[in-house]
Chain A
Amino acid sequence: MALLDIRGITRVYGGRTPFGLEPPFTALDNVSFSVSAGSIHGLVGESGSGKSTLARIVMALDRPTTGDIFLEGQSLFSLPARVLKRRRRDFQMVFQDPLASLDPRYTVARIVAEPLHVLEQKPRSDEVRQKVVDSLGQVGLSADALDRFPHEFSGGQRQRIAFARALITRPKLVVADEPVSALDLSVQAQVLNLIMDMREKFGTAFLFISHDLAVVEAIADQVTVMRHGRIVETGTVEDVFDRPQQAYTRELLAAQLPLK
């Protein structure tokens, strides 16, 4: 059984809204693929392809119009809200812009500890502190980060804090939406290595969303290419990059600007 099973997801926006009738827009059209435990699954596509909409639905932050998401065989959208909340320890998210996704008023200690609230057994405060220190250590930050605020860190360090927060509940799946797009080249590699380390150490699976094919090629095992809300092609990184079957995939690959 796959860790994550995305089955026939369609998401239509518009229609009857609080502001009246809007022309319906199909952001996702019958999208299905699965992510196995411990794998890095790259999701590539250009702006408007539906990648981020899919990420929100996988995270149960938005509901599909039709279709369902299964995590270890369990349908996320048929769970009662309280049970879904408990389940969140197993799937966490990292966003593109760490400055926007880390609350500027909170210390790093509080930010990183936040997902612990969803645990059934709430850890005692000294345990929380220890978990936070451990989680920061795993992403290469020391304990003196604890009482500082997000603005005191560089972009790469902030993204590490976001990963420390996502990883503190030891999730089985992390959905990472463009996690390195805002980073400079010299720190981008540090964060990509971190993702590969986490997968190796804890068996965490990643749904890694990116518009940058080179980055996906470098770290993913499986790749899904999307366009206009539909899947164009899905397969192993070797299949998709070495033997692309679809014209659009070839077009994307040809648009890359490699150094000779």
Chain B
Amino acid sequence: MTSAPLLRVDDLAVSLRLADGRLLPILSDISFAIGRGETLGIVGESGSGKTILSLAVIGLLPESAVVSGQILFDGKPLTGLDDKSLCRIRGSRIGMIFQEPTAALNPAMTIADQVAEGIVLHRGNSWREARRQAIELLDRVRIDQAVRRADDYPHELSGGQRQRVGIAIALALEPELLIADEPTTALDATVQREVLGILTEFVREKDMALMLVSHNLGVVAHMASRMLVLYAGTRMEEGETADVLGDPRNPYTRGLLAALPGRTGRGRRMASIRGTVPSLAHLPPGCRFAGRCPDEIPLCSQDEPGWRAFGAARGVRCLRALTTESV
């Protein structure tokens, strides 16, 4: 990265205040940065905290969330901003695409109006002008016959088309940062390819920064130059995508790669990670991956290993990672 990154997350921790007043830690020790024109893939299974991380960055955490650490957007802290200032940034400078397009769209509003809404609110354009721009955007995200479909309601579209509308809404104001939380998980493979292609266009042409959250390693490998692996609420490994996938240093990352179907050949038993992801309320002592890790030693259950940076912008959380390196 040449200049200061567009988004910088420093030592972020998020806890939720439970009904009985206790704090349940959801995320801890999260740091990363994304530059303009860069795509960071954030990989995590369910319970990894990846959705809470997306919500934290766009400032949509529930009221009960307690946040520490810093989120810097274009050099200015987002954490602690009041709602009014956040609203000015949200939508216009930071956009978001959600996993379920059906849930993210307003069922009682035409698709053109939903795309135009942000343009009217943030740019002060007339509805007439905003709708004209909306149709252009719908065309841009390859909604067939955008002019004719502009007055359709979400239920009249297929899942893939709805997700394109979600993308058009997020991109309407040409945000500098786009957060995409599992943007293609609900889509068929052929449609997924097209939707990812549209995102890539915006990253290239508008120099947009893309924070791509996905459980799908194939999607991340295809899209992201850098990747961050989350597990049970913290980061386990980070680096250039090719480095992390080619030379994973955390046993969890290695386990995920080994568990990909096809790694062992047709009809052969697959490598799996034993056990299941622990719930955040019952994390094991020490390393969060202890109990499931094939390389575990007694020391792993004592203290949680710290984050260690090494090599070319890589980092890993594992007691044994850097000792095996020196072997």
Contacts and interface: CB of A to CB of B under 8 A. Distances in A.
Interface of A: 46-47, 154-157, 184-190, 192-193, 196, 211-215, 217-219, 221, 237-238, 251-252, 255-260
B159 interface: yes
Contact of B269 (A193, A257, A260): A193
Contacts of A213: 189
B270 A156 contact: no
Interface of B: 45-46, 159, 188-193, 215-219, 221-222, 245, 255-257, 259-262, 264, 266-273, 276-277
Given A155-B46, A217-B261, A217-B262, A185 B217 contact: yes
Nearest to B44: A184
Contacts of A255: 189-190, 192-193
A157 B276 contact: yes
A186 B270 contact: no
Given A184-B277, A185-B45, A211 B256 contact: no
A257 B218 contact: yes
Given A237-B266, A257-B218, 5 more contacts: A46-B189, A189-B270, A211-B189, A237-B267, A259-B260
Contacts of B271: 189
B46 A259 contact: no
Given A154-B277, A255-B189, A258-B218, A186 B272 contact: yes
A184 B222 contact: no
Closest 9 CB pairs of A and B: A257-B218, A189-B272, A218-B261, A184-B45, A46-B188, A186-B273, A189-B270, A255-B189, A154-B276
A187 B270 contact: no
B221 A187 contact: no
Given A184-B45, A186-B45, A252 B261 contact: no
Contacts of A47: 159, 188
Contact of A184 (B189, B215, B269): B215
Given A46-B190, A154-B277, A256 B270 contact: no
A188 B266 contact: no
A193 B263 CA distance: 13
Contacts of A196: 267, 269
